[in-house]
Structure 1
Amino acid sequence: MPSSEPGPGDGSGGDRRRRDTRRRLLAAAAERFAEKGYAATSVAEIEEAVGLRPGAGGLYRHFASKEALLVAVVEGYRDRLSLVRQTLAALPADDAVATQLERVCLALVAFLADERAVVRIGAELAALPTTARLVIGQAWDEAHGAFADVFERAGVAPARAAALGVAALGELAHYLEHARTFGTPPLEVPLGAFLASWQSRWARVVEEETTL
């Protein structure tokens, strides 16, 4: 029998159950939006997935609408990516630029591997509400910023470091998207070879920028 939500007077136990239900709604929504698409996923099937009575409105005790639920899903993704950026920025700044760039790349690849559902949701960007698209854009800015932080810490002026961060991630994203879309990397260049060339190139760019 599907569970019902605890009432407001249930105390701390009720609060814990509500928080748990909210987390499960976020996880279920992420999986179903990724599998079926946002528009094709109903509130009732998300409710059913977490043990709420389908169509009884249990989801609305936690989120104002399906769109609000989607926004919460992508906000969590953005916030987790922001934490990755903060963690990277706290690491030693005196390492070689190429080493720092490799560290950012590996951290982002590992992060995305753990966030496959939200990545799939973001791949259908045009089909999402504007509110969600804006948050996904903010998440991209956190990733751009992780590279910009490396350049700025190496002595590149902030505005220029931001521009370089956008360009550096653009190259990396293009390689990965090509490999994902076509099942083979551009010109069949292995990832390791691409990353070695990419790191070396951006290290040279930083050297040029800081010796002008």
Structure 2
Amino acid sequence: MVSPTRARILDAALELIQRHGFGGTTVTGIEELAGLSPGSGSFYRHFRSKEEVFRAVLERELERAQGYRDEFERGPVADPQEALTRRFLQQLDYMARVRPLINLLAREHGRFPDLTDRIGAALVDQGIIEEAAHLMRDLPSGPAHDDPRALLTVVVSALTGYHLLQGYFGRSPSDVAPDRFAAALAAVMAAPPA
């Protein structure tokens, strides 16, 4: 179990690195935001360096993201299109929940390529593999069965683009609400072969 002080340090580091980047975040700033005496060395009782705390933040956020994914709807479905719509809405919610991790990766991916690769493999690559299995099971025979990983890569890209546009502009693209977007994407995927 993580000590309350260590958790506060992780929270403070996450907030500051998102705001100022790794280079613009100081140990003293982390201590201050975590409610510790700045410059007292309290940080160093829990972490050897700013890099170590950053790595710990990424690891914690990855664990949280994987836990969120465990909450996704699974199991047999009666209506594949309706199930896809619900899953896509879950994916959009998931993206909102993992936004701190995404922000860190977007800002600092070049600084810690080993972590970036590991997180990408765990969240994106493994997520596509898991969802491909569900597509094969839940959708009637059709285009989704031809290359489910490629199709899911397209879907993940569409969901990511929608999510990013919402974040950039503070509203849904073309005022298409998430439920409409998810339903339209599900309809495309569940459409019978031509």
Pairwise same-fold verdict (TM > 0.5): yes
The answer (yes or no) to whether the contact 2:91–2:159 under 8 Å persists in 1 is no
Alignment-derived partner of residue 157 in structure 2: 170
Secondary structure in 2 matching 1:54: coil
Which residue does the alignment assign to 1:39? 23
Q: What CA distance in whole angstroms lies between the structure 2 residues aligned with 1:131 and 1:195?
A: 33
Inter-partner Cα distance in structure 1 for 2:167 and 2:125: 22
- What is the aligned partner in structure 1 of residue 33 from structure 2? 49
Q: CA deviation at 1:158?
A: 9.3
* Residues in 1 aligned to 2:93 and 2:171: alpha-carbon distance in whole angstroms: 20
Query: Percent same amino acid at aligned positions?
Result: 28
The letter of the residue matching 1:140 is V
- Cα 1:126/1:92, change in 2 over 3 Å: closer
Q: Which residue of the partner structure matches residue 10 of structure 1?
A: none
Say whether 1:88 aligns with 2:72.
yes
- Structure 2 residue 60 is matched with structure 1 residue 76: yes
Pairs within 5 Å for 1:1-212? 19-88=3-72, 91-126=74-109, 128-137=111-120, 138-145=122-129, 147-154=131-138, 160-182=147-169, 188=174, 190-191=176-177, 192-204=179-191, 208=193
**Alpha-carbon shift at residue 165 of structure 1 (Å):** 1.9
Q: How many residues in Structure 1 have an aligned counterpart in Structure 2?
A: 188
Q: What is the CA-CA distance between 1:87 and the residue it aligns to? A: 2.9
- CA, structure 1 residues 128+139, in 2 after alignment: closer, same or farther (shift >3 Å)? farther
Determine the C-alpha separation between the residues in 1 that align with 2:123 and 2:30. Answer: 25
User: Which deviates the most, 41-50 or 52-61?
Assistant: 52-61
Structure with higher RCO (Cα < 8 A, 6+ apart)? 2
RMSD: 3.0
Gaps of 5+ in 1: 1-15
Offset, 1:153: 3.0
Distance, in Å, in 1 between the alignment partners of 2:80 and 2:183 is 12
State how far apart, in whole Å, the 2-side matches of 1:148 and 1:76 are. 26
Equivalents in 2 of 1:159, 1:59: separation in Å? 53
What is the TM-score with the length of structure 2 in the denominator? 0.77
Query: Amino acid of the residue matched to residue 28 of structure 1?
Result: A
Contact map agreement 1:71 1:131 (CA 8 A) in 2: no
Q: AA paired with 1:196?
A: A
Consecutive unaligned residues in structure 2, runs of 5 or more: none
- 1:165 alignment partner AA: L
- Give 1:199 shift: 0.6
User: Which one-letter code corresponds to 1:169 in the other structure?
Assistant: V
Name the SS for the 1:87 alignment partner.
coil
- TM-score, normalised on structure 1? 0.71
Q: Secondary structure at the match of 1:120?
A: helix
Cα displacement (A) at 1:42: 0.8
